[in-house]
Amino acid sequence: MSDSATGLLTEPIVDTAIADRLRAVLPNDVDYASARVVDEQSEHLMVRQNTLEPIFNEFDTGVMISIWNGGGLGYAATADLSDAGLRRAVATARHWATVTAGSMVTATPPPHHPTGTYRSPVEVDWDTLPLDARLELLHQQSRLLGIDKRIVDWSASLTRRNVDTLLVTRGRNGESGEVEQRFRFVYPGMRATANEGTNTQTRTFGANAFCGQGGAEVLGRFGFGDAANRVANEALELLTAPNCPSGVMDILLAPDQMILQIHESIGHPLELDRILGDERNYAGTSFVTPDMFGEFQYGSELLNVSFDPTVPGQLASYGFDDDGSPATKQLLIENGVLKRGLGGAISQERSGLDGVSNSRAASWNRPPIDRMANLNVEPGDSTVDELIGSIENGVYMHTNNSWSIDDSRNKFQFNCEYGQKIENGEIVGTVRNPGYRGISRNFWTNLTGVADKHSFTVMGTPNCGKGEMNQMIGTGHASPACKFSDIEVFGAEA
């Protein structure tokens, strides 16, 4: 049986008692003060080549104190949640607010003192699949992946993260807020690498994009238990497949490549903090300028893109962002026209532009910045078969495996794991190493087909990097398959 002290780790940190203690320690003589607690418990399981890798359990808890006062802003992050620890953090944040007063880009605090809750929708509690069953599931998948001598490496993995957050705010005039959110994430993974000579090909389970909020049902949502055979056989198939052709042609991008295309060439360029210059030293700037909102034809009339943190079960759904703005769905691009950017309350105030509720922090030890949350391409009217049928010469590309784009988010080059050659409206065979390149500013105007809801797939990207201090965070993306015309396509090195 478990050591009696184990409860110290598994009992929730975010509760009424800590909310009361945070309210007591936050000062009421400053313009705005907040305390954001993050309590995360995660479990990482992987079976590689039929051998269990070491199980790893993480318990990560801390608080970020933020104080806006007199034209200054300061943060202090600590894992010491004792009253003394909280008081020290408040003093540190207050000191920073004094030091930075008069030298801030903006010292306007968040406009909200919100109250509310959020819970990830869970249909099947994760613990109904006990650890030994989780391990056996991974061993089963591993055995199904290692089916041929040419499969030289393979693995199956499961990560579960429970993240509870609490945001307590206090203002100078007695205002106060409290937002409690409880997130449950599941990240299944699988990969098979095949090799012959100097040709190595890897096929994965959606390049880690088949993840989301929920419980054990997330595995069924993406067909985790049925994928291993396909993943392994497609890796082998790629070994003998011809090289992807080069030239200008049509491409059809599967949802597990579309999410990367959306993320890099719509999501990042629309982030208001990039447009405002915060990210220029690291993640970069944007080809999008403030005058383009409301006017710019970002894509063809088939392009409709939503920011939607309310999609049940999507990776970056929530009730409130980390500055306390309530989550709502907004159309960013409507019939191809750019409508609004991805900026939270502070970026909206700085830029004078419309934004969304996307001020998010990676954890308790990082301050919120503008992030994507869920960014989705709305379904169209065509079936995938109709889109294939409309292509005379092209490639159907699946599952991202390489991405690169310039610091203005314009010139990009992406590669996929698996390609299918299309000739005269029919798939005629598999091709390896499919890739394409283009320029964001023009690329989306070449969108000539959007598949309907039957191919619409809700996914996520677990690791999006940005910010100084650097922050890694999950973003959600959903898309149907989409067709683009007259695109520069290439294959592997000769």
* Contact positions with other proteins (CB under 8 A) in 243-282: 276-278, 280-282
Considering only 69-77, 161-169, 382-390, 451-459, which stretch makes contact with other proteins by CB under 8 A?
69-77
User: Between 122 and 152, whose beta carbon lies closer to other proteins?
Assistant: 152
- Can you tell me whether residue 440 is helix, strand or coil? helix
Report how many residues bind other proteins under the rule CB under 8 A.
Answer: 88
> Is 78 a residue that touches other proteins (CB under 8 A)?
yes
> Is 24 a residue that touches other proteins (CB under 8 A)?
no
Which of 132, 174, 247, 352 contacts other proteins by CB under 8 A? 132
- 82's CB contacts (< 8 A; 6+ apart) are none
Restricted to residues 447-466, the positions that interact with other proteins (CB under 8 A) are 465
Residue 221 CB, shortest distance to other proteins, in Å, is 26
Which of 34, 159, 265, 285 contacts other proteins by CB under 8 A? 285
User: Between 5 and 29, whose beta carbon lies closer to other proteins?
Assistant: 5
**Amino acid in the structure at residue 158:** L
> Is 73 a residue that touches other proteins (CB under 8 A)?
yes
> Is 427 a residue that touches other proteins (CB under 8 A)?
no
Please provide the size of the chain in residues. Answer: 494
> Is 58 a residue that touches other proteins (CB under 8 A)?
yes
Q: Are strands 426-431 and 337-338 parallel, antiparallel or unpaired?
A: unpaired
> Mutual orientation of helices 83-100 and 16-25 as an angle, nearest 10°?
40
Residue 237 CB, shortest distance to other proteins, in Å, is 16
Query: Structure tokens of 429?
Result: 């065979």
The answer to whether the beta carbons of residues 458 and 313 sit under 8 Å apart is yes
Residue 309 CB, shortest distance to other proteins, in Å, is 23
Between the CA of residue 455 and those of 123, 369, 377, 452, 482, what are the distances in Å?
23, 32, 12, 6, 10
d(CA 232, CA 239): 11
Q: Which helix (H) or strand (E) holds 212?
A: strand 212-213
d(CA 160, CA 185): 6
User: Between 3 and 291, whose beta carbon lies closer to other proteins?
Assistant: 3
User: Between 192 and 327, whose beta carbon lies closer to other proteins?
Assistant: 192
> Is 54 a residue that touches other proteins (CB under 8 A)?
yes
The answer to whether the beta carbons of residues 190 and 41 sit under 8 Å apart is no
User: Between 122 and 135, whose beta carbon lies closer to other proteins?
Assistant: 135
Restricted to residues 359-388, the positions that interact with other proteins (CB under 8 A) are 365-367
Query: If phi over 0 gives left and psi between -120 and 50 gives alpha, with beta otherwise, what is residue 143?
Result: alpha
Which of 24, 52, 248, 428 contacts other proteins by CB under 8 A? 52
Transcribe 296-325 into DSSP letters. Answer: -B-S-TT--EEE-TTSTT-TT--SB-TT-P
Restricted to residues 197-216, the positions that interact with other proteins (CB under 8 A) are 197-200, 202
> Is 439 a residue that touches other proteins (CB under 8 A)?
yes
Which of 46, 76, 168, 333 contacts other proteins by CB under 8 A? 76
Residue 35 CB, shortest distance to other proteins, in Å, is 13
β-pair partners for 241: none
Q: Which helix (H) or strand (E) holds 214?
A: none
